[in-house]
Amino acid sequence: MAIRVKSPGLLTTVQDTGRFGEYAIGMPPSGAMDVFSYQVGNYLVGNDDGAAGLEITYFGPELEFTEDAVIAVTGAEMPSKINGEEAPTWETLQVSEGDVLSFDYLKNGARSYLAVAGGIDAPVFMHSRSTYTLIGLGGHEGRALQEGDELQLGEARNGEAQIGKRVEDRHIPTYTKETELRVIIGLASYRLTEESMKEFLNVEWTVTPDADRVGYRYRGGELGFVEREQPAGAGSDPANVVDFGYPIGSIQVPGGVEPIVLMNDAVTGGGYATIGTVISADRDRLAQSKTNDKTRFRSIGLQEALEAREDRRKRLAEIRDALA
Partner 1 sequence: MNANVETGLPEARYTYGGDEFVFVELAEAMSLKVNFRAMAITNRLREENVEGVMDICPSNASYMVRIDPDVLHPDGLISRLKEIDEEVGDVKGYELQTRVVDVPVMMEDPWTHEALMRFRDRHQDPDATDLEYSARINGYDSKDDFIAALLGSPWLITMIGFVPGLPWCYQLVPPEEQVEVPKYVRPRTFTPERAFGFGGGFAVVYSVQGAGGYQLYGLAPAPVLDVKQRLTDFEDSIVFPKPGDVWNYRGVDREEFDEIRASVEDGSFEYRKKDFTFHADRALEDPHAYNKEILGVLYGD
Q: In the complex, which residues of this chain contact partner 1 (CB under 8 A)?
A: 20-27, 126, 134-137, 183-184, 186-190, 231-237, 240-245, 247-250, 267-271, 277-281, 302, 305-306, 308-309, 313
To the nearest whole angstrom, how small is the minimum distance from the Cβ of residue 20 to partner 1?
6
To the nearest whole angstrom, how small is the minimum distance from the Cβ of residue 16 to partner 1?
16
Q: Which is nearer to partner 1, 161 or 257 (CB)?
A: 257
**Could you tell me the end-to-end alpha-carbon distance of the chain, in angstroms, rounded to an integer?**
28
Q: Which is nearer to partner 1, 169 or 227 (CB)?
A: 227
To the nearest whole angstrom, how small is the minimum distance from the Cβ of residue 176 to partner 1?
23
To the nearest whole angstrom, how small is the minimum distance from the Cβ of residue 265 to partner 1?
10
Q: Which is nearer to partner 1, 137 or 156 (CB)?
A: 137
Q: Measuring CA to CA, which residue among 304, 315, 305, 231 is closest to residue 273? A: 231
Q: Which is nearer to partner 1, 82 or 184 (CB)?
A: 184
- Taking only Cα atoms into account, the Rg of the chain, rounded to an integer number of angstroms, comes to 20
Question: Measured between alpha carbons, how far is 263 from 278 in angstroms, rounded to an integer?
Answer: 10
Q: Which is nearer to partner 1, 17 or 92 (CB)?
A: 17
To the nearest whole angstrom, how small is the minimum distance from the Cβ of residue 301 to partner 1?
9
Q: Say if CB 192 and CB 237 are below 8 A apart.
A: no
